[in-house]
Structure 1
């Protein structure tokens, strides 16, 4: 199977080859955009993301096999233009969660892992909504995009140290009453260390 990098390089001479990248990642990128802005706007963001990616494919860093962080970065920049809509969609998600009869009050690890269930606790959702735009974007790329710290850094065009700093700040703001420790997850391929949430006993 071709890597994303190989597909993009091939598309420089054979533009139609770029469709393989769309087939491979459209559902993931579209799902992320829909969670941020709602289904209708999500489809628009998806289309725009791949139009921009196609136009800028020469700038793709071919040292990365996966184009997903790059695509998330493009989508995130497009989503920033719709901050008011995102805020409205997020408030709607919070209100929906508050109307549920049975709300799960799991630990932070479980809550973040289930952000794709449209925010599962009453207490945490308003705190996420209150995060700065940069912190919220960092968290959602990590939680909804399922990216590593290194991939979030690529998506946002910031140093990985900045991502770590933001995530530490987010951890404190989301759950200040509990002691949080970092579970170190080793990326065996790269030998990199990534931070994952684990609530201490």
Structure 2
């Protein structure tokens, strides 16, 4: 039986790519799908395609400045993606507002339970999108890096270049505003 080999640490791949640029493809293969998924949740698909590709172009160009003491490149890559997304702030806000206006009656499922579940999900999605559109960009970036990219507060801080304490403050503020918006919407709906 062949021994199980561990995946190379991201920092080792980046370091090796300084001598052998083609090695960077391993990092691309490892993280393109999650980075694209994160971008697509925040922007329309054509922009998400561009952001994901540009994230790796920027990372490749800046690989010489990567802190090799950090074995995991995910926070660095998500930070690059978040910065690129922030350039498309208006498109992101338009997408959230469009989701907020989504008519829950547009669902065309056959089974009553699935229809009810879909309607509930659409209604919640709309309120959530509206609340996300109202958040300050810095708070929204932190919330989405933690919720959608599944980064820790420390990793989100590294991604955005801010202390973990700042991330926790922004995260708390964002979660409070989202809960208030969803709670208010639920209260209004029940009246």
TM class by smaller structure:
0.7 to 0.9
Check 1:132–1:98 CA distance in 2 against 1; reply closer, same or farther (3 A cut).
farther
Q: CA deviation at 1:167?
A: 1.2
Matched, 1:21 2:44: no
TM-score, normalising length: structure 1: 0.76
Matching residue of 2:88: 82
1:6 to 8, 12, 19: 12
Q: Trace 1:1-201 onto structure 2 (pairs within 5 A).
A: 1-96=7-102, 98-99=104-105, 102=116, 103-104=119-120, 120-176=124-180
Check 1:119–1:168 CA distance in 2 against 1; reply closer, same or farther (3 A cut).
farther
- CA offsets 1:92-118 (integer angstroms, 9 cap, x no match): 22233744563447xxxxxxxxxxxx8
- CA offsets 1:130-165 (integer angstroms, 9 cap, x no match): 111111111111111111111100111000000011
Residues of 1 paired with 2:180 and 2:50: CA distance?
37
Relative contact order higher in (CA < 8 Å, ≥ 6 apart)? 2
Q: Once superposed, what is the RMSD of the aligned Cα atoms? A: 2.3
Larger deviation, residues 83-92 vs 2-11? 83-92
- CA offsets 1:49-107 (integer angstroms, 9 cap, x no match): 111100100111222221111001001111111111111111222233744563447xx
Larger deviation, residues 123-132 vs 64-73? 123-132
More helix by share: 2
Structure index of larger Rg: 2
More strand by share: 1
Instruction: Point out where structure 2 has 5 or more consecutive residues left out of the alignment.
Output: 1-6, 108-114, 183-191
Aligned residues: 167
Is the 8 Å Cα contact of residues 156 and 167 (structure 2) preserved in structure 1? yes
TM-score, normalising length: structure 2: 0.79
- CA offsets 1:152-200 (integer angstroms, 9 cap, x no match): 001110000000111111222122499xxxxxxxxxxxxxxxxxxxxxx
